[in-house]
Structure formats: C-alpha cells, structure tokens
Amino acid sequence: MFLRALTVLTSSILALAVAFVTAHATPITLIDHLNNFRDTRGVNDVGVPPGDAIQFGADVTPGGLQGTTLGAVQGTRVLVPTVCNALAVNARNCSRSVAFTPTLNSAWDLTFHNGSDTATATTPIIGAAAATAAPFPSSVTISGSGFTPTLRWTVPAGFTPDAVRVNIYDKSGPSLPNGVKDVVHSQALAAGATSFIVPTTLNSGQPLRAGNSYVLNIQLIETAGHVPLVGGNFNDNIVRRSSAFFDFTPLTGGAPPPGVSSDGWPCTGSQAWTGSRVSIPSPASAWW
C-alpha cells in the first residue's frame, strides 16, 4: 500500500512538473537573419573574447529575455544550449562564437528551445573570403566636445570594406548572460566612412549618461557579393569583419589632459569627455 501511494505521488509530481514547463513555454514563432562569419576581435574590457573567432546565429522570437536558448552543431562540434544574448538594440539577437579554425567552414545546425517548444534552422556556409582575416582600422583618434565626440580612423591599404559599423557598449551597466556588456547603440555607416560622431540619443532609446564608461567598437566589414548590409544593419551577409574597441567617458565638466593619453593615443580638444585607448591592434594581430 505504501509503495503504491508513493508511486502515485511521484507520478503526480512529474505530471505537475511537465504541466508547469508546458504552461511556461513560449512558442518560437520566427527565426530570421541567419548568419555565419569570421570575426577578428581586438583586446577589450567589455567581455568580448579577443582573437580570431567564428560568430554565427540568428534573430529569434521570442528572444533571450523570454528564456529562449540556442544550441548548435557542425560536424563533430557540438555546443550545448545557452540563453540567447538579447541586446538593448536588438532583443531578438541570438548568437554564439567559437575560435576560428579553417575546418569549421560549413553551415551550423541551430536548435532553439523555449520550455518544451523547439525550433531548428541552418546558417549559411561561411564565405570563401573568410580564409583571410579582415584588417583592423588604423590611426584611430577621438576628438570634439560635449557628449558628441568624433571618432576617426583610417582603412588599411589593400582592403575595401563593404560596410562600416560602430557599436557603443555601456561598460557601466550590467553584463548579459554571456558575460558581455550590452550594446546600447549600433549604426551602419557607408562603406567609405572614416569618421563617426557619437549621437546624443542612442538608438536603444537611452541617453549618454555623464560619468558612465562606454566603449566605441569600430567594425570593418566585407559582405557576400560586396553589397550593403541586409536590412541596413543586420549580419545575414557578413563574410568577415574586424572589431576594434576604444573607451570614452562623457563628463559634465572639467577637461581631460590635452594632447596624448598616457598610453600614446591622440586625445585632443574636449571639455566634456575623456578617452583612453583599450586597444589599437595592428593588421598583423591574430566580436554586433
């Protein structure tokens, strides 16, 4: 009698658990903007692993804020599911990365989970141009005044980007589940752009905040077919890109040291911001 009662109780608990998971699952209704590309990343302090990587993923509804996870498989390489990294500029963003190796040159089979609901998708094959890393920008400077400093750079000879993107990371804010700081602004620029003025209102809807530490991220991008980014600023057709990172802090008053920062980065003419270099990698150096 006791064993039978225990069996009934255990079965009831399991049934309740299944019912709970099912009730709290949000069906996955949309997967788009699938991508797969080589991403060469400079040293940074926003949690992006530096070095040579393959980044891949998609946009998904519902996203990480609703508990969606992403697992991936390519050949014998298996990545266990982790929570999608929703961004302030794109709550549907869901991406993963692994160290670059030439043998990972096929598509990734992606599996998205939200509670008991599952959906699958396949990325594009990584483009042939990804055999060579994209170079970093050079001669990077930051100048100006107020909350709108100007970032300037030079594109290395021999490389013609199909797009340039500037992201702004909020280093003072909380980290995402993957340990990376949030992106509070992302803007695609014309292919030939060599400068960017920080806007007063970011496209996440957040303002720049005095005293917060931010990081500017410049990406030089090559796309499949040498065309603009899909939809203006999505990752679908990226083949390879480089990512360089630079700190700045808006201030309400006072002036930074003039001329050159302590580590040799030009830092000129501002009464309301400071800049200090995190990294200006060379093209010879081995992540939106």
The answer to whether residue 274 scores a pLDDT higher than 90 is no
Q: Measure the CA–CA gap between 147 and 288, rounded to whole angstroms.
A: 23
Max CA-CA distance within the chain? 86
- Please give the pLDDT value at position 24: 62
Show me where the domains of the chain are located.
Answer: 30-39+46-127, 129-277
Q: What percent of the chain has pLDDT above 70?
A: 78
- Which structure tokens are listed for 18? 């299944």
Q: Which of 212-216, 254-258, 262-266, 269-273 has the highest mean pLDDT?
A: 212-216
pLDDT tens digits, one per residue of 4-58: 444 444 444 434 333 333 446 899 999 999 999 999 999 999 999 999 999 999 9
pLDDT tens digits, one per residue of 184-237: 999 999 999 999 999 988 999 999 988 899 999 999 999 999 999 999 999 999
Q: Measure the CA–CA gap between 188 and 185, rounded to whole angstroms.
A: 10
Query: Are 37 and 127 in contact, with CB atoms under 8 Å apart?
Result: yes
Residue scoring higher pLDDT (20 or 112): 112
DSSP assignment string, 31-89:
EEEEEEEEEEE---SSSPPPEEEEEEEEEEES-GGGT-EEEEEETTEEEEEEE----SS
- Please give the pLDDT value at position 79: 98
The answer to whether residue 133 scores a pLDDT higher than 60 is yes
Q: Measure the CA–CA gap between 77 and 146, rounded to whole angstroms.
A: 48
Q: Where are the alpha helices (DSSP H) in the chain?
A: 2-23
The answer to whether residue 261 scores a pLDDT higher than 70 is no
Position 154, amino acid: T
Same fold, 30-39+46-127 and 129-277: yes
- Which structure tokens are listed for 250? 């808006």
SS (H, E, C) 104-124: CCCCCEEEEEECCEEEEEECC
Q: Is 173 exposed, middle or buried (0-12, 13-18, 19+ CB in 10 A)?
A: middle
pTM above 0.75, yes or no: yes
- Which structure tokens are listed for 211? 């005293």
The answer to whether residue 86 scores a pLDDT higher than 70 is yes
pLDDT tens digits, one per residue of 63-84: 999 999 999 999 999 999 999 9
Handedness of CA 165, 91, 120, 287 (dihedral sign): positive
The answer to whether residue 157 scores a pLDDT higher than 70 is yes
Residue scoring higher pLDDT (240 or 25): 240
CATH superfamily of 129-277: Immunoglobulins (2.60.40.10)
Provide the 10 A C-beta neighbour count for residue 225.
9
The answer to whether residue 3 scores a pLDDT higher than 80 is no
The fold adopted by the segment(s) 30-39+46-127 is: Immunoglobulin-like (2.60.40)
Q: What percent of the chain has pLDDT above 90?
A: 72
Residue scoring higher pLDDT (142 or 163): 163
Q: Mean pLDDT across the chain, nearest whole number?
A: 84
Query: Are 215 and 168 in contact, with CB atoms under 8 Å apart?
Result: yes
Q: Measure the CA–CA gap between 57 and 17, rounded to whole angstroms.
A: 31
Q: Residue 250: which pLDDT band, with cuts at 50, 70 and 90?
A: confident
Provide the 10 A C-beta neighbour count for residue 253.
7
